[in-house]
Every structure is written in structure tokens, then in C-alpha cells.
């Protein structure tokens, strides 16, 4: 597989450190609020990356953290008169609800910053010992300029990065470029004991601590949103590589931004949407589809039109897949005309799908391949086909949509399907027995539930209006 590596700015062949195994890490949410649709993008994209790597036979150890201590959590806790821990617990729960709705599989580990304070202190101590960090009045800072490769991920010369930094009067830094590893506790803030007094970790250090603890000193893939390249990921590299003397992450993947109606999402523009709000209106799966129908590095422009289009595109895929199931009911035992050619075409769609995913996770082209498969199926299954080829089409459809993490709401559908099919069967029976009163009653019952019946040469078909 080829991956565009932010570090080298090139597509590179992916070669894991250990054959057959992938260690990957994604920066997770700061749990002080509901996640917005911009936050949902890396969650969807990198879940699909993990699914694809597993599909290709890798054992993937995937870690995604929860930032459960920082200024925003403290502010929220003070506003609501509850503890920081309560804020974190509430929004981790809400995150998990959204993730489940989006069909995201839980990571191998979801560590929390507050549960890894020992590891964090250990790294900061090592950095102080090695002269890369210094304590000042209970704060500990990292000497960015001492790390000669500082800026290698963002590809910015030091002077340029420097120009954007100003020393905040409240800070005790030697240099504007330095960043905080450990913060002394202000009155009323949660704190932990440390060699530098009571305090709490800075943001960047937690990811490095969790990576070292759960994945080791060097990992294969580190991913996150583009907005994290600088300073977060740049700082992660500096502190980690100065601590261990080893390469931190071999491939860096970053997803693009989400704009709303062609504007950058921001609270001041009032075009800020939580995933929950959008899901309540349109469902979760169209959001997932929207994230995957674009290349992960391209920007996405969210609008009502776009999400509606995603919803109807998904519906076409569901209809096709449901039709294959329907055709299984009238499948025959012998091969019908054109089956070999159909199988060949369908398998070429699979090749097309894999080629797209191999090319830097091009989910946009992979989805196109799935739609072409759907078109092939729609024109092929207009008459009863052999059981073998019908099952083959269903399995291939499921295989590809599962790699993307789409069409995951079919299970719920199938209990509804069974119930409605039973009613249709009962109605057919009643008609056969000339019991028209029962047949009409069932028809009305179905109509009430917006089920539309359609008589076809292959039996009664139904769909929800």
C-alpha cells in the first residue's frame, strides 16, 4: 500500500516495522463537549484505514486516547459546578454514542491522560536529565531549538515558526519556541504530585506517554487532523525523539478540513455543527459516507445538499444489496445465462476497489468501484439467477462495504425485513384462499407503516416510502 507521508511529503510504499503487524495511533478527542463534524472526520477515515489494513491481513494494534484533563475541561467543570472527572465521563459516553452511530469499531486501547500520569512524569524527568527540558517555578518546558530537527513535520524553517510565537507574560519560558510539558497547578485545579510540585501535564506529552506505554518507542502510523501538524505533532516528535533517541513514527497521515457552506467552521461564524445535531436530522451513516466519498486529504464542504446527496447515494447501495437478498428467495438451482461473465466483471470491481485503497487510501475511488458493482448487480438480477451466483454477489458486496465501514445498518433492517416479509406471505396466502378481508387488512396495515408493495414476475417486492 502507498501512503502519503506528511514527514516526507511523498507517497511511500508502506512497510511495517514488523512483518504482518501495524502499530497505529490517532489523537483522540478532548472530552469537554460533543464532537463536531470536523472531529468526526479523522475518526471515520482512520477507522477505515484500520479496517483496510486488517482486511489485507495485518494484525493492527490501534490506540486512540481521550484527553481528559486540560483548560477546557477545567473551565466546563467550573461553569457547571461539577468535577473535571464528571465532565470527562459525560463526554466520553457521548463520544462513544456518536462513534457507535458512525459504525466505528472501538480501538484496541482508549487510554486516558489522567490514567498515565506516571509515564508522563517519567518522560519529563528523562528530558530534564538530558538537558532538553527545564523547570521554572513548578512548570517544565521543552527547549525546542535544542532539537535540531524541530520543524521537520511541518516543513517550516525555525525562523518562520518562531515569528508566530510570543511569550505570554504568565509563562516562564527561556525562548518563545519552547512548549510546556508540565504545568504547575493553580488554586482550585486538579493536580498530581510531581518532582516539580503539584501540577498537571501539558497537552502534547500525553500522546507520547501513551504511545510509549501501549505501542513502544517507534510506531508505524501516527494520524490525526491537519490542524494537529503544528504544533501538536511537531512537539510530540521533538519530545519523543529526544527522550528515546529513536524515530517516533514512520508514517504520518493527516486528514483535511471540513468547511461549512464554503466557510471555515468556527464558533464565531455560527456555522459550527456537532455530529449529534447532524445525525439527529439526517442519520449517522450519511455523515460517514460524506467523510469517505472524498479523498481524506482533500477538504470537504459540508452543506445540506451534500448530506442529502450522501443519504440518497447510500439508499441506492442499500436498495441494491436488499434486492440481492430478495432475489435469493427466487434463486434457481442451475446456472443461468451470463453468470460467468457477471462473476468476472464483479471480481474486476473488487480489483478496482483494492487498487484505489492501495493508493493512499483513496476511499473516493473505492466507493465508485462499489457503485459500479451495484450497477452490475442491478442489471444482472432482473431475473432469478442461480443460488451460487446470488450468494457470491451478496458476499462480495458485504466484503467491500465492510472494509469501508458502510451499510452497517442492515442488521436492524433484517429484523424489520423478516417481519414485513411474514406479513406479505400471510397476505399472499389469504388471497390464495380468497380471504380478501384479511388480505386487505394486511395491505392497510403495511400502508400505515409506509410499506409500498409492488407485484413483479419474481414475486411481491416491497420498499419503504
Interaction site with Zn ion (CB under 5 A): 27, 207
Residue 45 or 207: which CB sits closer to Zn ion?
Answer: 207
Task: Take residue 253 and report the three cell numbers written for it.
Answer: 497521515
Q: Which of 223, 230, 206, 287 is nearest to 35 (CA)?
A: 287
Residue placing its CB nearer to Zn ion in the complex, 22 or 211 = 211
Query: What's the closest the beta carbon of residue 378 comes to Zn ion, in angstroms?
Result: 44
- Nearer to Zn ion by Cβ, of 53 and 207: the residue is 207
Task: Indicate the residue among 71 and 419 with the shorter CB distance to Zn ion.
Answer: 71
Tally of helices (H runs) and strands (E runs) in the chain: 15, 15
Minimum distance, C-beta of residue 28 to Zn ion, in the bound complex (Å): 8
Q: In the complex, what is the shortest distance from the CB of residue 236 to Zn ion, in angstroms, rounded to a whole number?
A: 6
- Which residue in 313, 315, 382 sits closest to 342, CA to CA? 382
The total of other beta-carbon atoms located within 10 Å of residue 388's CB is 15
CB of 207 to Zn ion, least distance (A): 3
Measured from the CB of residue 203, what is the shortest distance to Zn ion in angstroms? Answer: 8
What number of other Cβ atoms are within 10 A of residue 94's Cβ?
18
CB of 153 to Zn ion, least distance (A): 12
Backbone torsion region of residue 246, taken as left when φ is above 0, otherwise alpha when ψ lies between -120 and 50, otherwise beta? beta
Q: Compute the residue count for the chain.
A: 465
Q: Please identify, using beta-carbon distances, which residue of 213 and 443 lies nearer to Zn ion.
A: 213
Q: Choose among 390, 298, 289, 404: nearest CA to 339.
A: 390
CA proximity to 116, closest of 217, 244, 219, 212: 212
Pick between residue 27 and residue 60 the one whose CB is nearest to Zn ion: 27
Rounded to whole angstroms, what are the CA distances from 318 to 1, 397, 408? 29, 10, 10
200: β partners = 183
Strand 2-5 with 10-13, pairing:
antiparallel
Query: Least Å distance between CB 229 and Zn ion?
Result: 11
Nearer to Zn ion, 207 or 406 (CB): 207
**In the complex, what is the shortest distance from the CB of residue 415 to Zn ion, in angstroms, rounded to a whole number?**
40
Nearest approach in angstroms of CB 15 to Zn ion is 24
Closest CB to Zn ion among residues 208, 293:
208
- Looking at the Cβ atoms of 65 and 323, the one nearer to Zn ion is 65
Amino acid at each position: 500500500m502507498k501512503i502519503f507521508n506528511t514527514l516526507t511529503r511523498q507517497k511511500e510504499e508502506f512497510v511495517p516495522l514488523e512483518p504482518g503487524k501495524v502499530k497505529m495511533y490517532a489523537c483522540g478527542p478532548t472530552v469537554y463537549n460533543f464532537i463536531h463534524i470536523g472531529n468526526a472526520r479523522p475518526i471515520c477515515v482512520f477507522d477505515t484505514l484500520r479496517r483496510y489494513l486488517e482486511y489485507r491481513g495485518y494484525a493492527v494494534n490501534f490506540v486512540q486516547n481521550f484527553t481528559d484533563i486540560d483548560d477546557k475541561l477545567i473551565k466546563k467543570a467550573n461553569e457547571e459546578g461539577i468535577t473535571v472527572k464528571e465532565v470527562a465521563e459525560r463526554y466520553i459516553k457521548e463520544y462513544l454514542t456518536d462513534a457507535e452511530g458512525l459504525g466505528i469499531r472501538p480501538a484496541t486501547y482508549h487510554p486516558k491522560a489522567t490514567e498515565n500520569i506516571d509515564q508522563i512524569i517519567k518522560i519529563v524527568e528523562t528530558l530534564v536529565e538530558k538537558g532538553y527540558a527545564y523547570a521554572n517555578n513548578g512548570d517544565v518546558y521543552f527547549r525546542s531549538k535544542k532539537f535540531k530537527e524541530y520543524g521537520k513535520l511541518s516543513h517550516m524553517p525555525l525562523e518562520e515558526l518562531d515569528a508566530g510565537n510570543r511569550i505570554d507574560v504568565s509563562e516562564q519560558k527561556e525562548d518563545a519556541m519552547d512548549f510546556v510539558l508540565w504545568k504547575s497547578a493553580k488554586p482550585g485545579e486538579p493536580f498530581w504530585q510531581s518532582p516539580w510540585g503539584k501540577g498537571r501535564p501539558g497537552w502534547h506529552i500525553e500522546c507520547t506517554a501513551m504511545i510509549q506505554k501501549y505501542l513502544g518507542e517507534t510506531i508505524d502510523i501516527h494520524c490525526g487532523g491537519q490542524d494537529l501538524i503544528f504544533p501538536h505533532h511537531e512537539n510530540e516528535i521533538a519530545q519523543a525523539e529526544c527522550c528515546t533517541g529513536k524515530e517516533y513514527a514512520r508514517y504520518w497521515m493527516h486528514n483535511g478540513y471540513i468547511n461549512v457552506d464554503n466557510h471555515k467552521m468556527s464558533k464565531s461564524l455560527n456555522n459550527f455543527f456537532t455530529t449529534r445535531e447532524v445525525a439527529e436530522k439526517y442519520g449517522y451513516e450519511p455523515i460517514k459516507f460524506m467523510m469517505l466519498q472524498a479523498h481524506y486529504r482533500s477538504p470537504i464542504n459540508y452543506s445540506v445538499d451534500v448530506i442529502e446527496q450522501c443519504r440518497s447515494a447510500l439508499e441506492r447501495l442499500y436498495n441494491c444489496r436488499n434486492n440481492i437478498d430478495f432475489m435469493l428467495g427466487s434463486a434457481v438451482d442451475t446456472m443461468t445465462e451470463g453468470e460467468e461473465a457477471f462473476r468476472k466483471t464483479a471480481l474486476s470491481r473488487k480489483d478496482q476497489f483494492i487498487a484505489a485503497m492501495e493508493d493512499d487510501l483513496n476511499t473516493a475511488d473505492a466507493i465508485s468501484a462499489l457503485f459500479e458493482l451495484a450497477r452490475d448487480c442491478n442489471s444482472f438480477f432482473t431475473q432469478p439467477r442461480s443460488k451460487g451466483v446470488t450468494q457470491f454477489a451478496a458476499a462480495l458486496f458485504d466484503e467491500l462495504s465492510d472494509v469501508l465501514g458502510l451499510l452497517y445498518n442492515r442488521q436492524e433492517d433484517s429484523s424489520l425485513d423478516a417481519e414485513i416479509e411474514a406479513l406479505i406471505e400471510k397476505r399472499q396466502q389469504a388471497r390464495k384462499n380468497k380471504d380478501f378481508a384479511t388480505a386487505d387488512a394486511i395491505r392497510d396495515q403495511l400502508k400505515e407503516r409506509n410499506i409500498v408493495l409492488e407485484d413483479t414476475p419474481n414475486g411481491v417486492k416491497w420498499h419503504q416510502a
